[in-house]
Amino acid sequence: AVLFVPPKAPQDLYESYYNTNKANLKLYVRRVFISEEFDELLPKYLSFLKGLVDSDTLPLNVSREMLQAHSSLKTIKKKLIRKALDMIRKIAEEDPDESSGKDEKEVETSGDDDEKKGQYTKFWNEFGKSIKLGIIEDATNRNRLAKLLRFESTKSDGKLTSLDQYISRMKSGQKDIFYITGTSKEQLEKSPFLERLKKKNYEVIFFTDPVDEYLMQYLMDYEGKQFQNVSKEGLKIGKEKNKELKESFKELTKWWKNALASDNVDEVKISNRLDNTPCVVVTSKYGWSANMERIMQSQTLSDSSKQAYMRGKRILEINPRHPIIKELRERVAKDSEDEGVKQTAQLIYQTALMESGFNLPDPKDFASRIYSSVKSSLNISPDATIEDDDDVEETETDSETKDSAGKDEL
């Protein structure tokens, strides 16, 4: 078999991904051309490859249907997949830019071939999504495909890095591979979920492609390390020292949970991931992230009942060192029935919901609370009314109504 990677991906590669007859392989049997539309030789995620296959074991004078059922076909397909993945791995190994995780001796022996510099980055930019789809679809080769994954992270300096390179940079005692999903790297870099992780010098992977949400449902671990979405519950950063804080904020967390009963908040608790932000909203470990929720809501044919189930519980995590949270605790201790405190707590939650990447269920309610807060800061009475506009012109409908009323009186 002869296989090669084209320099550019077809424009409709992923738009028609599940269409049949997409293979770019020509099938020969004993050097006799059989077909160029034989798509059973490679899985769909490798359909971008071009080449030819010449077999001595397949029969010549048989129909396409008989060829598909031939026992040799599975063996040929298995060998082709292995050959294709080895070829892609070799592209990465020969790329000098991929040597950043190697020691000096390995870099010296790999040479300084300018033609091969950046070749894997080019491949990834064109066909990276196919590798991700392969991880989703091909359980047998999942680990081999995972080695080909590339992404940016908080420590990659704008360059692509691999899971092996990530693991080589892990801190002593770190058990999980941290990652976060979102719409862009720029947006994720400002995420409150990264505050404590950055401060403690942990590396976090950025996943910004919509397919990454599906990818991470299948890629549960790598080289004995579990993946941890830092926007979900269960994040562990070193040893926890929150026992005293939990006790001192017990009254506030209990009161706040009751105040948010109508907002589907399952728990309010002390956070171990915040530094400068007062609070964030996290999701359950097996529920949808805020990013996945946004993706599913944009699907035209999505099932709303399934969305409600997969959305899972929401947890409000508060920063006990933040002055806003401290002041709120004092206000609740003084008067837990104060309507102004309840409004403030609701506004803080809605702001955290939005900053955590969720869509607000009731933007009008949020806007009303913001305007009330602005009124208070400007010393405007809550009962202040809007002046009538005396210059509003009378509409035709109003005139007709008045004329009709006049006729009725007559």
CA 78/CA 85 separation, integer angstroms: 11
Residue 281 pairs in a beta bridge with 316
Angle (deg, nearest 10), helices 250-259 and 323-334 = 80
pLDDT at 103: 46
Instruction: Check residue 275 and give left, alpha or beta (phi > 0: left; psi -120 to 50: alpha).
Output: alpha
Chain centroid to CA 121: 21
CA 296/CA 349 separation, integer angstroms: 23
Residue ranges, CATH 1.20.120.790, the chain: 243-377
> What CATH number should be reported for the domain whose range is 2-98?
3.30.230.80
pLDDT at 357: 94
Chain centroid to CA 75: 36
Residue ranges, CATH 3.30.230.80, the chain: 2-98
Tokens at residue 203, please? 């590396």
pLDDT at 74: 83
- Supply φ then ψ for residue 183, to 5 degrees: -85, -25
The answer to whether the CB of 224 falls within 8 A of the CB of 232 is: no
The answer to whether the CB of 235 falls within 8 A of the CB of 228 is: yes
Q: Which fold has domain 117-229?
A: Rossmann fold (3.40.50)
User: Could you tell me where the DSSP H helices lie in 115-271?
Assistant: 119-137, 142-146, 163-168, 185-189, 195-199, 210-218, 243-248, 250-259
pLDDT at 152: 97
Residue ranges, CATH 3.40.50.11260, the chain: 117-229
pLDDT at 301: 64
Amino acid symbol at 167: I
Instruction: Check residue 234 and give left, alpha or beta (phi > 0: left; psi -120 to 50: alpha).
Output: left
Chain centroid to CA 388: 49
Tokens at residue 392, please? 């509003």
CA angle (29, 35, 41) in 5-degree steps: 75
> What CATH number should be reported for the domain whose range is 243-377?
1.20.120.790
What is the mean pLDDT of each successive set of 10 residues along the chain, which is 410 residues long? 89 77 75 74 90 81 65 85 95 81 47 72 96 97 97 95 96 95 96 96 97 96 96 86 84 95 89 95 92 85 65 90 96 94 95 95 92 90 81 59 56
Q: For 20, which DSSP code?
A: S
Radius of gyration of the chain (CA): 30
CA quadruple 181, 187, 193, 198: dihedral positive or negative?
positive
pLDDT at 63: 63
For the beta carbon of residue 410, count every other beta carbon within 10 angstroms: 4
